[in-house]
């Protein structure tokens, strides 16, 4: 098994591509050991000294480090990922790899048409580009002209995430939807 690695715009996150599907649909962002308890692979990754986040995409795993250097962490992470996939163990303990938990969305009923357009633009134009960088951005809400987005994986805590939101996503949404005034991350 050959696992490729790619850097991301976030210097604290590295993207691992095992060359096979990781998560059947959706994404899963685990930012601590407690949330990693749902996945044997994530638990083993969090057991490595310095790992502070694990993100599963459709065909990649993004690992975020809090401490340490990639030259020391990368071989250990590659070993854990390879061992997991070679063992044939399930990615998630409950066996349901078809969708990640979704959080509640908020918006007024009269904004449903605008929200549908926002979601369509995010799905078609934003998420594929962000997935290439080892992360994900999902719609959380719309209120008073402000779009609230949840940033996951490499996007969470990335130094360039503010620029991505303000200059990329905000400009895109404002171009197509005059009701959009601003884009903010959900804290």
- Any idea what the CATH number is for the domain that residue 19 is in? 3.30.1370.70
Structure tokens at 3: 């696992």
Residue numbers of the domain that contains 31: 4-87
In this structure, is residue 166 part of a structural domain? yes
* Domains of the chain: total: 2
**100 part of a folded domain:** no
Q: In what order do the strands lie in the sheet with 28-30?
A: 4-7, 13-17, 61-65, 51-56, 28-30
Asked whether the beta carbons of 18 and 3 are under 8 A apart, the reply is yes
Residues listed for the chain: 187
Q: For each of the chain's 187 residues, which pLDDT tens digit applies?
A: 789 999 988 889 999 999 998 988 888 999 898 999 999 999 999 999 999 999 999 899 999 999 889 999 999 999 999 999 999 888 998 765 544 445 688 999 999 999 999 999 998 988 888 888 788 888 999 999 999 998 887 777 676 777 777 778 899 999 999 999 999 888 6
Residue 140 placed within a domain = yes
CATH classification at residue 159:
3.30.300.130
Q: Are residues 70 and 129 in the same domain?
A: no
Both structure tokens of 32 = 């601590």
Whether residue 14 sits in one domain with residue 65: yes
In a domain, residue 94? The reply is: no
């Amino acid at each position: 098994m050959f696992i490729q690695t790619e850097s991301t715009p976030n210097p604290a996150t590295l993207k691992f591509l095992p060359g096979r599907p990781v998560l059947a649909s959706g994404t899963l962002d685990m930012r601590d050991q407690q949330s990693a308890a749902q996945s044997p692979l994530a638990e083993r990754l969090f057991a490595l000294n310095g790992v502070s986040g694990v993100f599963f995409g459709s065909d990649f795993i993004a690992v975020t480090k809090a401490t340490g250097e990639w030259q020391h962490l990368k071989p250990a992470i590659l070993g854990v990922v390879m061992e997991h996939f070679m063992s044939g163990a399930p990615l998630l303990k409950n066996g349901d790899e078809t969708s990640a938990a979704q959080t509640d969305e908020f918006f007024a009923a009269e904004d449903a048409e605008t929200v549908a357009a926002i979601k369509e633009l995010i799905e078609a134009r934003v998420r594929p580009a962000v997935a290439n960088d080892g992360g994900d951005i999902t719609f959380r809400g719309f209120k008073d002209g402000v779009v609230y987005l949840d940033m996951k994986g490499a996007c969470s805590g990335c130094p360039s995430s503010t620029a991505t939101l303000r200059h990329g996503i905000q400009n895109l949404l404002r171009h197509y939807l005059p009701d959009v005034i601003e884009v903010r991350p959900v804290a």
